[in-house]
């Protein structure tokens, strides 16, 4: 079946989102019925996940013709076969693996405390708040009004949307969200994207091998964290993790297979479309998870939903706020092209690097013709365009003149 | 493969219909309406210079296009 790339992006992003909602429900079921210990469950996920992912990659490595493997045909055209990690990837995989490990332990602890996946998932959207804070600190960049508004809307929306079935707000769960899950998610997503942007043998890095090596690194870090915890507290969660991995292999394997496809589709979508749009689509998970939660509630796996209309209204308002905040943040970007002429006697590479280091520049192109360089810019306000881009361009000695073209509307074949 | 930016100057009032036609041209990756010396920036991705000529030719044949300036990409870094 052939599908246009534009539609493929939305198919992948929404498929990933719906699957993610399903995964949360499976996790909630396993946690509620079989493995209540979050530490043991987290370790079991990565232990079984490593094996499951390895088997899936072996299957996808089967060649279907002289040039393509099964995985390249149906999942990711960049995939060739399962491969060893490259030296250039180790640093990124180490950080992304640590992020995924902490994120998973925190996320399963939340599932364990709150029970309802519809209460857990809105919390993960608060990541936007952290991205803005990190940008403000690292880039010495003052957030714009729209960024602050979006972050506040999403944060309060997530808190309202996460009010539990019984109407309780759990302080421990809030601490886990703000101090563990979202910071870890930021690290995980930033380094996962860095891995996707790496070139392996002059080809784009493939999402299948990224996922495989991420699970391995996350498994190693989870083991280290749990061994340390066991040693300090005197628990035996690592042994419990091994024990539940054997006892409930089928359930954990199911959640890891489904998670695998959710992540692979997500990484693929990131490679096709814009990260901001992908993130906006992913935010709809807060809606998709509601039917799953109702189903779990119907089968008495989680406590029944409150029938108090005020609580239901609060939850609806929270969910809408999360969607509004994420969409505003993702879609309120200004774009511009700047065409540049340089003075003779300055190395092209040096000017290219200086332009690339300007915050907000998403593309630097050396061109032959009337101009020497074209840079593409993404900013939130025109004022920032002046403060952050124009001032920096003017500081580069080799630049003779430049012309700014604000993008008013754009069509892209993605 | 060759990538290029084609900068277009347009006659007033013809942009909407011209863009509809541009979107149907093969190898056109991106079309941006811009404010500045030019009116439209088109990014194309072609196999050869010969194909680039065909795309440029198709663009300048569209009613409303006054002038095209082609900038061939030599090197690129992108997010």
B31 CB near a chain A CB, below 8 Å? Answer: yes
Contact B70 A412 (CB under 8 A): no
Length of chain B: 79
Per-residue confidence (pLDDT) for residue A5, from 0 to 100: 54
- CB-CB: which of A197, A369, A406 is closest to B69? A369
For residue A140, is pLDDT > 80? no
Residues of A in contact with B74 (CB under 8 A): 366-368
For residue A21, is pLDDT > 70? yes
Contact A367 B79 (CB under 8 A): no
Which of A405, A406, A408, A410 would best serve as a mutation to test chain B binding (most B beta carbons within 10 A)?
A405
Q: What's B2-72's CATH class?
A: alpha beta
CATH number at residue A345: 3.30.70.920
H helices present in A115-181, as ranges: 117-124, 127-138, 145-161, 171-176
Question: Which domain-ending residue is among A331, A348, A374?
Answer: A331
Per-residue confidence (pLDDT) for residue A413, from 0 to 100: 56
**What is the 8-class DSSP label of residue A85?**
P
Q: What share of chain A is helix, strand, coil (3-state, %, to 5)?
A: 65, 10, 20
B67 CB near a chain A CB, below 8 Å? Answer: no
Contact A374 B71 (CB under 8 A): yes
Q: How confident is the model over A77-115, as pLDDT tens digits?
A: 788 899 999 998 999 999 999 999 999 999 899 888 877
- In a shared domain, residues A315 and A372: no
Per-residue confidence (pLDDT) for residue A412, from 0 to 100: 67
Segment A271-290 mean pLDDT: 72
Q: How confident is the model over A308-367, as pLDDT tens digits?
A: 777 778 878 888 888 888 777 767 778 899 999 999 889 888 999 899 888 888 889 999
- In a shared domain, residues A246 and A142: yes
Task: Count up the domains in chain A and report the number.
Answer: 2
Backbone angles phi, psi at A69, to 5 degrees: -100, 170
3-state secondary structure chain B: CEEEEEEEEECCCCHHHHHHHHHCCCCEEEEEEEECCCCEEEEEEECCHHHHHHHHHHHHHCCCEEEEEEEEEEEEEEC
- Residues A241, A247: Cα–Cα separation, whole Å: 10
- In a shared domain, residues A343 and A280: no
- In a shared domain, residues A311 and A338: no
Residue A43 lies in a domain: yes
Backbone angles phi, psi at A410, to 5 degrees: -145, 140
Q: What is the DSSP string of A142-158?
A: PPPHHHHHHHHHHHHHH
- CB-CB: which of B30, B38, B77 is closest to A411? B30
- In a shared domain, residues A20 and A158: yes
Q: How confident is the model over A284-317, as pLDDT tens digits?
A: 787 788 888 888 888 877 777 666 777 778 878 8
- In a shared domain, residues A316 and A341: no
Residues of A in contact with B68 (CB under 8 A): none
Backbone angles phi, psi at B73, to 5 degrees: -80, 125
Nearest by Cα to A393 from A359, A369, A370, A367: A359
Segment A249-253 mean pLDDT: 93
In chain A, what is the greatest distance between 2 CA atoms, to the nearest angstrom?
Answer: 74
- In a shared domain, residues A186 and A91: yes
Contact A364 B34 (CB under 8 A): no
Tell me the CA distances in angstroms from A381 to A135, A329, B59, one per residue in order: 16, 12, 32
């Amino acid at each position: 079946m052939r599908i246009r790339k534009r539609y493929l992006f939305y198919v992948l992003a929404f498929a990933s989102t719906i699957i993610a909602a399903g995964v949360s429900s499976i996790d909630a079921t396993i946690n509620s019925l079989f493995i209540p210990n979050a530490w043991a469950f987290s370790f079991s996920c990565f232990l079984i996940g490593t094996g499951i992912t390895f088997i899936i990659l072996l299957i996808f490595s089967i060649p279907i013709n002289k040039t393509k493997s099964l995985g390249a045909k149906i999942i990711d055209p960049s995939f060739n076969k399962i491969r060893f990690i490259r030296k250039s990837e180790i640093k990124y995989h180490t950080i992304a693996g640590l992020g995924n490990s902490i994120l998973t332990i925190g996320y399963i602890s939340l599932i364990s405390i709150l029970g309802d996946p519809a209460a857990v998932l809105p919390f993960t959207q608060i990541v936007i708040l952290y991205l803005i804070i990190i940008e403000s600190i690292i880039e010495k960049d003052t957030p714009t009004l729209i960024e602050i508004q979006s972050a506040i809307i999403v944060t309060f929306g997530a808190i309202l949307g996460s009010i539990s079935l019984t109407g309780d707000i759990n302080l421990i769960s809030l601490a886990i969200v703000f101090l563990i899950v979202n910071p870890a998610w930021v690290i995980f997503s930033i380094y996962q994207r860095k891995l996707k942007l790496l070139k392996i043998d002059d080809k784009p890095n493939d999402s299948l091998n990224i996922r495989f090596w991420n699970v391995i690194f996350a498994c190693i870090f989870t083991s280290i964290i749990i061994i340390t915890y066991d040693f300090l507290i005197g628990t035996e969660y690592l042994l419990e993790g091994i024990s539940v991995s054997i006892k409930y292999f089928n359930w954990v394997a199911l959640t890891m297979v489904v998670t695998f496809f959710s992540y692979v589709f997500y990484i693929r979508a990131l490679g096709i479309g814009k990260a901001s749009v992908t993130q906006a689509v992913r935010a709809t998970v807060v809606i998709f998870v509601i039917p799953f939660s109702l189903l779990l509630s119907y089968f008495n796996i989680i406590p029944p939903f409150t029938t108090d209309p005020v609580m239901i209204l609060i939850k609806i308002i929270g969910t809408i706020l999360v969607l509004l905040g994420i969409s505003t943040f993702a879609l309120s970007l200004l774009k511009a092209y700047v065409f540049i002429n340089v003075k003779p006697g300055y190395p092209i590479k040096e000017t290219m690097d200086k332009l690339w280091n300007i915050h907000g520049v998403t593309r630097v192109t050396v061109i032959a013709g009337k101009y020497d360089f074209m840079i593409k810019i993404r900013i939130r306000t025109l004022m920032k365009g002046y403060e952050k881009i124009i001032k920096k361009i003017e500081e580069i000695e080799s630049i003779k003149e430049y012309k700014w073209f604000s993008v008013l509307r754009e069509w892209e074949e993605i | 493969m060759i990538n290029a930016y084609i900068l277009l100057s347009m006659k007033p009032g013809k942009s909407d219909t011209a863009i509809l036609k541009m979107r149907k041209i093969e190898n056109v990756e991106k079309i941006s309406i811009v404010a500045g010396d030019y009116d439209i920036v088109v990014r194309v991705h072609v196999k050869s210079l010969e194909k680039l000529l065909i795309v440029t030719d198709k663009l300048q044949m569209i009613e409303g296009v006054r002038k095209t300036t082609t900038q061939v990409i030599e090197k690129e870094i992108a997010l």
